[in-house]
Amino acid sequence: MADIVMLPIENLLPHPLNPRKDLGDLTELADSIRTQGVLQNLTVVPEPLEGQDKYRILIGHRRHAAAKLAGLTELPCSVVWMDKKEQVQTMLIENMQRSDLTVYEQAQGFQMMLDLGSTVEEIAEKSGFSASTVRRRVKWMELDQKKFKQVTDERQISITDLDSLSQIEDIAARNECLDKIGTRDFDMAIQKAVKRQNIDVNMPKVKEWLKSVKAKKINDNDRWNGKYDSVGSTIYIDKWEEDGNKPKDDITKEPVFYWLGKDSYDYGQLRLFHEHKKAPPVKRPQEEIDKEKAVRAAWDRLESLGKTTFELRKKFIDGFTVTKKNEPQVIFGAVIAGCYNAIGYNSSDRGALYTLAGITDTGYIPEREEKFFEGFDKVSGDDWVKLVYALFGDADINCSSGYRREFPKFDHNRKLELIYRWLSTLGYKMSTEEAQMLSGDHEVYKAGEDNGEV
């Protein structure tokens, strides 16, 4: 062990590679040093400058700065000899053990060690973090560093939020989402970016399928002039691989025609058509066709919004942890759902209830109730909040009314309002679009006014 020596405070220099940049408030530590002195030595490395013995601080930057404030002229130091790599490693691990580093400083420190020749495995062994954690932290250094530091300094950000950015491959899209991190719009931004990314991944597969069935493209007007009949429901390209979303085999018994959405509100939507056989196309006024297109576009956008917001709610519940502290809020949800189901004749998500109770045979069996309550007795932990959520029977719904031949109009959806009321007690933060949808302020409800409909 190195001997402890007293060194002049002016000969001790902060280390330029210290991962910790902000030393925090030094007032209390300076007051303690005035009365009790420095109780723990600093660790330093020699760095001769201009013929004088100078030292770089490895451990004790806060003590050094506070001692200056307290008016001390010398400090107890342990002088060691380390190469640059060992110095950075020592400072990084010391700060991590004290939990003194921000997430930005931590990521920066890992990157610095990699730049100096350490491997991910070596960093993991020295720091106590898993190799996968080290890789995820280093991944953060691909972000816009100025923006990354700013948001981590100014906002309350979770590690989970930062790690969720890694879902997005495109760095520009990732930095756009970084703008929203720590705000109520972050989850929505991630959802949209992942959706666009999945569309980009799946689009070649979709085009290959269209080519394999010799499908022919139609223009936007042909969707509305009566020449073609729509076949099946809208296909969402970001979910191309999911069951129930891909086209059925019997669609190819007749020549297939297709339309791909290009605008922001319908991007990633595929519609399939067969040629209309019953009658020749009817010449319709262009004004009528334009209105029908606008009406359909508004409903498509509303439907897409309903799907996206439903996925956000479900993701929140899937990741929710039940604790003693939030148990009353979970029970509150059960009370709301129970009352609403009784008064509003609401249907619960029976499939989810079966799954939670461990029932695989969803058909009618005489002992169904008995099996359910046997399974119900085994529900525990975080499954309780999922069970309550299933009582609401949440789905990709929105706040709208009217027939689809007219523009959608806002209509209070009591079910959604109750779901959001409960979720908010659990800590859920509505995005701007969710709040606008629930209040009727979303622009999709103004489509009729924009098209001359009062």
Residue at token pair 């523009």: 407
pTM, two decimal places: 0.65
State the chain's mean pLDDT as an integer.
86
Residue 449 in tokens? 């006014």
Per-residue DSSP letter, 404: T
Tens digit of each residue's pLDDT (9 = 90 or more) over 226-265: 889 999 888 999 999 887 787 888 888 899 999 998 777 7
Residue 433 in tokens? 């679009």
Question: Taking CA 288 as the corner, what is the angle to CA 284 and CA 294, rounded to the nearest 5 degrees?
Answer: 135
Residue 361, pLDDT score: 67
Helix, strand, or coil (residue 202): helix
Q: Which of 58, 23, 31 is nearest to 43 (CA)?
A: 58
Cα 264 from chain centre: 21
Domains and CATH numbers, the chain: 4-81 (3.90.1530.10), 87-183 (1.10.10.2830), 209-284 (no CATH), 300-450 (no CATH)
User: Along the 454 residues of the chain, how does pLDDT read in single tens digits?
Assistant: 567 889 999 889 898 888 777 787 888 888 888 888 888 888 898 886 655 788 998 888 888 989 988 899 999 988 988 888 888 888 877 776 665 667 777 788 888 888 878 888 888 887 777 888 888 888 888 888 889 888 888 888 888 888 888 889 999 999 999 999 989 999 999 999 999 999 999 999 999 999 999 999 998 888 888 889 999 888 999 999 887 787 888 888 899 999 998 777 778 899 999 998 876 667 888 888 888 898 999 999 999 999 999 999 999 999 999 999 999 999 999 999 999 999 988 889 888 888 887 877 666 666 667 777 776 777 788 899 999 999 999 999 889 988 888 999 999 999 999 999 999 999 999 999 999 999 999 999 988 776 655 4
> What is the spatial distance between Cα 367 and Cα 92, in angstroms, rounded to a whole number?
62
> What is the spatial distance between Cα 371 and Cα 352, in angstroms, rounded to a whole number?
15
Q: Is the separation of the CB atoms in 405 and 298 below 8 Å?
A: no
> What is the spatial distance between Cα 233 and Cα 248, in angstroms, rounded to a whole number?
11
Cα torsion 46, 33, 72, 15 to 10°: value is 30
Residue at token pair 């058909």: 363
